[in-house]
Structure 1
């Protein structure tokens, strides 16, 4: 899935560098993220399975894929946005509401900032905010049927 946003080349470098630093740490950011999310917003516990092991892994793999393809041109225009819209629709089925995206973004960026330390400066945070905002918006957009996607 390619990113549904055009980050500047400098922002891509910042996001990738900070993500690489975070993923090299012993503690898994994804597990820490879910711990913080449930701690700050306990009502979200009802949205997840009792055992978060698979959820933690899938979340990390999804972010890995997003970062890996951040500056690659999409093979099929609109495919990434459509995939994210479909993911968003699945989240609606899980009980996720529009305002939950702000909670997730805040906790995710705070988790990254804490883990990256001094490496997560204002410019890096701004780059991540732009990326998260675009992903969240794509997830909130209604999915485009495959027949209507641009080839």
Structure 2
């Protein structure tokens, strides 16, 4: 990721922080609308708490974007845990689409094509690294 993309992500994420609970709720609504089968992965979970975790993870990823040495191990472990929950490679596409749709709705005109491209690059990095973590866990088992 370029320094400019990191700047775009950080500045666009800032106004969403005070709206974390609302953003998380909107994200999961879009996710389950896009891929209703994913709802079964969350049965019995406190979705408000799940939303808090989502927003904390996003905030951490945004903060560590310019420090891949710190971000990568976190994402590898997160991918391993998600693999244990039954998350598959195909699910990452649904999550990415829901994330971008949520950001577009939350940021409105502030979600410019350039900002969308930056978030897409970030999500690809996150998803790819998490999938590597899940694959490594399967190989180690």
TM-score, with normalisation over the residues of structure 1? 0.80
SS at match of 1:44: helix
Give per-residue Cα distances to partners, 1:36-78, cap 9 Å, x unaligned.
Answer: 111221110111133312111111111111112222x35xx3x
Question: Which residue in the other structure is 2:109 paired with?
Answer: 118
After superposing on structure 2, the runs of 4+ consecutive aligned residues of structure 1 that deviate more than 6 Å are none
Change (3 A) 1:95 1:83: same
| Greater share of helix | 2
1:63 to 58, 67, 72: 58
Task: Tell me if 1:92 matches 2:83.
Answer: yes
> What is the match of residue 131 of structure 2?
140
**Could you say which residue in structure 2 is the equivalent of 1:22?**
16
Output aligned runs, 1:12-51, within 5 Å.
Answer: 12-25=6-19, 28-50=22-44, 51=46
TM-score by length of 2: 0.85
2:48: which partner in 1?
Answer: 53
Instruction: State the 1:97 CA deviation.
Output: 0.7
- CA deviations 1:74-109 (Å, max 9, x no partner) are 5xx3x5323212211111111111010011001101
Alignment coverage as a number of residue pairs: 135
**Which 5+ residue runs of structure 2 have no aligned equivalent?**
none
Q: Give the root-mean-square deviation of aligned CA atoms.
A: 2.0
| Secondary structure, aligned partner of 2:51 | helix
**Alpha carbons 2:75, 2:133 under 8 Å: kept:** no
Higher relative CO (Cα under 8 Å, sequence separation at least 6) belongs to 1
- Uncovered stretches (5+) of structure 1, i.e. residues with no partner: 1-6, 146-151
